[in-house]
Amino acid sequence: MSLLITGGTGYIGSHTVVELLNTNQDVVIVDNLANSSTKSLDRVEQITGKKATFIKADICDKEAMREVFKAHDISGVIHFAGLKAVGESTQIPLSYYHNNVSGTVVLLDVMNEFNVKNLVFSSSATVYGENNTSPLVETMPTSATNPYGQTKLMIEHILFDLAKSDPDWSIISLRYFNPIGAHASGLIGENPNGIPNNLLPFVSQVAVGRLKQLQVFGDDYDTIDGTGVRDYIHVVDLALAHLKAVAALPKLPGCTAINVGTGNGTSVLQIVNKFKEISKVDIPYQISPRRPGDIATVFAEAKLAHEVLGWQAERDLTDMISDTWRWQSENPNGFE
Ligand code: NAD
Ligand code: WQD
């Protein structure tokens, strides 16, 4: 039996594939390479000494997805495939709704057809919207502030409805906080196209000289130093949460949303200072106006993951930044 990993050549997917291969799980990856390259597959093989089966296909292509399920004995799916840039989603919302929401419906349809009813889904802390106060708890009301967030919220609604309609489904929706870091080997890591939107890829590209300086979006928030506070989570810890979730599916019918965070908040300037300390490189920055849509503080209550999955984050901020720096300094241009 194999696990199907959609989006498995991407940032979080590739780290999860490493951990799955390390536990001798057979893995089939489906990715359309919209935001990744097959170079990550070579690196995954270099790290693990094992190979995943790779199929270049789009999850929106129902016939192609049927072929995948026909050709492989799939026991369950970890569904990472999706577009994820918040700003871009406000420019081309239809692409986001099509790719993320319609693509997921196609995937679920085909899973239903082949009677594969175990799913772990990549959700996001973005579903908590802007009206809840951290620590964010799974029972809080959800909302979305941009099309990307809407797609995650819509998919969660679809998953809850599906699980309600058919008791054979077991679904875990993992709500990631802010994934950063890279594999300790320095061989795989985050490889964004163009100018990064997220803090850590931006800081690390400043550190290697690809970008001139960081813009710190606001220093007048009600936080420890006025800059935004987030719950950064090491991508390898996040990958391991997926293995725990897959293991928990058989005893967890229905659809369950679970936070994946550390429960700790770190400010932008704390990140910058930690990065400077570890890399021994200066990170020039300038304070700029707040970024529209940002909120002051976001961090998880991380209890449920511990209770239900037996998972908790084990890597601290030093590990996260050291691993980010190793990846970026050894691969200044990513996989290129
Ligand atoms: P990523 O872009 O590196 O990986 C996503 C992968 O999905 C890419 O390899 C891309 O080529 C593939 N893909 C996109 N649309 C596809 C389609 N229609 N068919 C097949 N493959 C397709 O992103 P990531 O950071 O690894 O994120 C993985 C998942 O986690 C996404 O669903 C994202 O929304 C979610 N998520 C990410 C973050 C984050 O900050 N990175 C936070 C919360 C949730
Ligand atoms: C972190 C902090 C910024 C860039 C986003 C998505 C969210 C989820 C994770 C997918 C904030 C500040 C950033 C910069 C800065 N993705 N910042 N200068 O906004 O918490 O979450 O990624 O689901 O949906 O919205 O992450 O890394 O963009 O920002 O000062 O150049 O860094 O203001 O305080 P965010 P981020």
Predicted confidence (pLDDT) per residue in 228-278, tens digit? 999 999 999 999 999 999 999 999 999 999 999 999 999 999 999 999 999
Parallel, antiparallel or unpaired: strands 178-180 and 232-234: parallel
CA-to-CA distance for 242 and 68, rounded, in angstroms?
Answer: 21
Q: Is 217 in the pocket of ligand 2 (CB under 6 A)?
A: yes
Q: Which atom of ligand 2 is nearest to the CA of 179?
A: 9
Contact 14, 84 (CB under 8 A): no
Q: What is the mean pLDDT of residues 65-85?
A: 98
What are residue 6's phi and psi, to 5 degrees?
A: -80, 140
Active-site residue, from 11, 96, 148, 221:
148
For residue range 138-173, list pLDDT tens digits in order: 999 999 999 999 999 999 999 999 999 999 999 999
Note the pLDDT of residue 276: 98
CA-to-CA distance for 304 and 146, rounded, in angstroms?
Answer: 27
What is the 177 CA–ligand 2 centroid distance (Å)? 10
Note the pLDDT of residue 223: 98
Note the pLDDT of residue 209: 95
Model confidence, pTM: 0.98
What is the 198 CA–ligand 2 centroid distance (Å)? 5
What is the 122 CA–ligand 1 centroid distance (Å)? 8
Q: Is 84 in the pocket of ligand 1 (CB under 6 A)?
A: yes
| SS3 category, 192 | coil
Note the pLDDT of residue 336: 85
| Catalytic-residue membership of 97 | no
Closest residue by CA, ligand 2 atom 4: 199
The percentage of the chain sitting over the pLDDT mark of 70, rounded to a whole number, equals: 100
For residue range 79-114, list pLDDT tens digits in order: 999 999 999 999 999 999 999 999 999 999 999 999
Q: What is the mean pLDDT of residues 169-181?
A: 98
Note the pLDDT of residue 273: 98
Helix, strand, coil percentages, rounded to 5, for the chain = 40, 20, 40
